[in-house]
Amino acid sequence: MAMVKVSPSVLTADFLTLSDSIKKLEDAGVDMLHLDVMDGIFVPNISFGNPVIKSIKAHTSLPLDVHLMIDRPHRYIEEFAKYADLLGFHYEAGSDNAELLKKIRELGCKSCITIKPATAAEEIFSLLPLCDMVLVMSVEPGFGGQKFMPQALDKIAAIKAECERQGLKIDIEVDGGINAETAPLAINAGANVLVAGNFLFSADDMGAKVKEIKSL
């Protein structure tokens, strides 16, 4: 089984003390930072954009896992690729997905396709060779603190099986409702990258929580 990677979502952090939180996460041994970009159109919420990501990039050595929850993401890929290490967008967002995945790689980032809970795993099977990672949403995108949807587990397992069938080594990330109870379920289904928000940022000892996930 692949080593479990932890990608904390900073969406639930206190942005006035974000640099302190990032330092704590670095000390805790997380693998990357998950940055949720929301436009109020593709999802019913607005978060932050490239100026914030640029600032974070200047103050951490952690890879930036940028998750675009935006309409027609092709319009902004070049800008976000300047600071992202791994750049993902939604299959459902209305772009030429194959060309966009290729472009992300051409711009020097690792590529990721993301699917919402209602999207079948099979819909992205043809895109897998163009992906470095697939992100399975286990909640409806747009807000933190939602409950994990167990139907995501079958989807993760199906993507894992298809990657093996195609002979591909692709990270499978899961985002939404990850905690001490749901993390083992996601890992057993085939995920190896876990996005955690409230579970980490509400903890008195984030390092202990990261170790708990990585030990699964």
**10: its two tokens:** 């900073």
Range of the domain at 142: 5-214
| Contact between 93 and 71 (Cβ < 8 Å) | yes
Output the domain CATH number for residue 152.
3.20.20.70
10 Å Cβ neighbour count for 211? 13
| Per-residue pLDDT at 145 | 67
- List active site positions: 36, 175
| Per-residue pLDDT at 7 | 96
Residue pLDDT, tens place only, 177-195: 999 999 999 999 999 999 9
72 backbone φψ class: left, alpha, beta (φ>0; ψ -120 to 50): left
**28: its two tokens:** 């805790």
- The total of structural domains in the chain comes to 1
Q: What percent of the chain has pLDDT over 70?
A: 98
**Which residue positions in the chain have pLDDT lower than 50?**
1
Q: What is the mean pLDDT of the chain?
A: 94
| Per-residue pLDDT at 96 | 93
Sheet hosting strand 133-137, strand order edge to edge? 5-8, 193-196, 171-175, 133-137, 110-115, 86-90, 64-69, 33-38
Question: Which residue matches tokens 């020097």?
Answer: 108
Closest among 24, 29, 23 to 210, alpha carbons compared: 29
| Per-residue pLDDT at 144 | 65
DSSP string, 115-161: E-TTS-GGGGGGGGGG-SEEEEESS-TT-SSPPP-TTHHHHHHHHHH
pTM over 0.85: yes
